[in-house]
Amino acid sequence: MAAINIPETEIKDAFYKSTERFHFVACIVGIVLNLVWFISDYFVIPEYWLPFLTFRVTVSVISALSLILKNTFKISIYTCVFILVLGISIQNAYMWSVMDLEHFQKHTLAYIVLFIGVGMLVLWDIKLSIFISIATLVSNIIFYKLNSQLTINEFLINGGLLTLSVVIFTIFLIRSRYRLTLNEIRSRLELAKSKEIIEQKHEEVLHQKKEITDSINYAQSIQRAFLPSEAQFNSHFKDSFVFFNPKDIVSGDFYWISNKKDKLFYATADCTGHGVPGGFMTMLGLSFLEDVIDSKGIEDPAVVLNLIRDKIVNTLKQTGNVGENKDGMDITVCCIDKITNKLTFASANNSLYLVRDGELRTYKGDKQPCGFYHENKPFTLQSVDLMKGDCIYTFTDGYADQFGGPKGKKFRYKQLEDLLVANTKLSFAEQKTVLSNAINEWKGDLDQVDDMLVIGALIS
């Protein structure tokens, strides 16, 4: 995130608002204490009680008026405090000038307390501190010349130099506190601004995410419209199931079925990727299957895969160059002849399981994808004479590749085979439930790694 620059005027305005009440209270306390200290004046130097009282009342009244009228005349709180401190400093300079050495030394403490108090309570720009210091020095010189009976050495040694040192210390104290407070406010404003920007970006991301999710959900509805429903699929068999569990909203796995007179065609496919990229490929796969089988009337599953492969290569303009996409699909296309009860099929990478009388038979597919491959060979047509009660299972690799279990390993095909054989006598609806429960238990809290598709069909 780029550096956040807060305008100096905004920082000063926040500084003023955060310290105004504090300075107002400090000013009130200073006015009251200045009057209260007259009690000490009366008993310590009774001969000067009247001019001391006059000075104190004058300073306090002017300071009080500045507070009362600050909104009317738009006087800042710093100006009010400045008037009070300046008045008390000039007042103390006068008091010093009329005192003898003993009282002068005692009053030095009061003068020092004034500046220490200012250093602890006041926050203002260094210019005001310098102005106060110069005014204090000038007023001391003037009153010393007019009234003091002390020598320069007595004046300096017995309190003047000490007070001057405290004044210099106070200047740096106020300056340090002022800068620290200003920087703290700047940091707070920058943090608030950063939070505001982060929240704004968060809202933008949420909005964009919602738009993307809405678009993907709409894409899912389109994809599902092209896929046969499970009920439509099952209507072609005496008993069957479709275990279809996409990893994301849109799936890269798909299935398809078509009935042509005495022959039933269906496909189980896994496209490159999952989610939206895989979803695009499924649309191509579904379109190509309908074109080759339904429109062109091709009945040989191996020829179907050869033609679909050619369509994928040509559509995606695949030439085998380095860096080029290698998109395609692993797919099994089956054809069941209802008259002869014969299954012919061809497969790219995926296997086909047939369970007969509790025994599993595995038919491996060609070790090449349906898409560009460095050694493209014609797909192999395989055939099986079916018997009543045979169970045919086709699937993609998502189920077997799911991580989980006590050691976080893949489920693997061996477990899938054992699961199918052990439950082959159950209804296919129950088999689907067993598959679902088994993979969920295996997966546990781990994320699903791929789309899952397992199709089972009973031969009647």
Instruction: Quote the Cα angle for 437-442-448, to 5°.
Output: 95
C-beta separation of 288 from 360 below 8 A: no
CA dist., res. 361 & res. 152, Å (int): 118
Distances from the Cα of 299 to the Cαs of 260, 288, 381, 458, in angstroms?
9, 14, 11, 21
SS3 label, residue 187? helix
Four-CA torsion 5, 8, 11, 16, nearest 10 degrees:
180
Residue 426 region by backbone torsions, left for phi larger than 0, else alpha for psi between -120 and 50, else beta? beta
SS3 label, residue 98? coil
Which residue, among 343, 424, 351, has the nearest Cα to 386 in the 3D structure?
Answer: 343
**Model pLDDT, residue 254:** 93
CA dist., res. 318 & res. 314, Å (int): 7
C-beta separation of 128 from 143 below 8 A: no
- Give the count of beta carbons closer than 10 Å to the beta carbon of residue 318: 18
Tokens, residue 33: 């204490």
The distance from CA 223 to its chain's CA centroid, rounded to whole angstroms, is 31
453 membership: H or E segment, kind and range: strand 452-458
DSSP string over 214-273: HHHHHHHHHHHHHSPPHHHHHTTSSSEEEEEE-SSSS-SEEEEEEEETTEEEEEEEEESS
Distances from the Cα of 37 to the Cαs of 88, 110, 198, in angstroms?
11, 10, 55
CA dist., res. 265 & res. 243, Å (int): 18
Which residue, among 397, 451, 436, has the nearest Cα to 282 in the 3D structure?
Answer: 451
SS3 label, residue 160? helix
Distances from the Cα of 236 to the Cαs of 104, 160, 230, 241, in angstroms?
115, 111, 10, 11
* Whether the predicted model's global pTM rises above the 0.85 cut: no
CA dist., res. 83 & res. 86, Å (int): 5
Four-CA torsion 335, 336, 338, 340, nearest 10 degrees:
100
333 membership: H or E segment, kind and range: strand 328-337
CA dist., res. 167 & res. 175, Å (int): 12
CA dist., res. 226 & res. 242, Å (int): 16
Which residue, among 49, 54, 133, has the nearest Cα to 91 in the 3D structure?
Answer: 54
CA dist., res. 21 & res. 361, Å (int): 88
Angle subtended by helix axes 77-97 and 126-147, to nearest 10: 20
DSSP string over 377-412: -PPPPEEEE--TT-EEEEE-STTTT-EETTTTEE-H
Angle subtended by helix axes 161-226 and 8-36, to nearest 10: 140
pLDDT tens series, the chain, 460 aa: 556 788 888 888 888 888 889 899 999 999 999 999 888 888 888 899 999 999 999 999 999 999 999 999 999 998 999 999 999 999 999 999 999 998 888 888 888 887 888 888 888 888 989 999 999 999 999 999 999 999 999 999 988 898 889 888 988 988 898 889 889 988 888 888 888 888 999 899 998 888 888 887 887 788 888 899 999 999 999 999 999 999 988 888 999 999 988 999 999 999 886 667 778 888 889 999 999 999 999 999 999 999 999 999 888 887 767 555 677 899 999 999 999 999 999 999 999 999 999 999 999 999 999 988 888 899 999 999 999 999 999 999 999 999 999 999 999 999 999 999 999 999 999 999 999 999 999 999 999 999 999 999 999 8
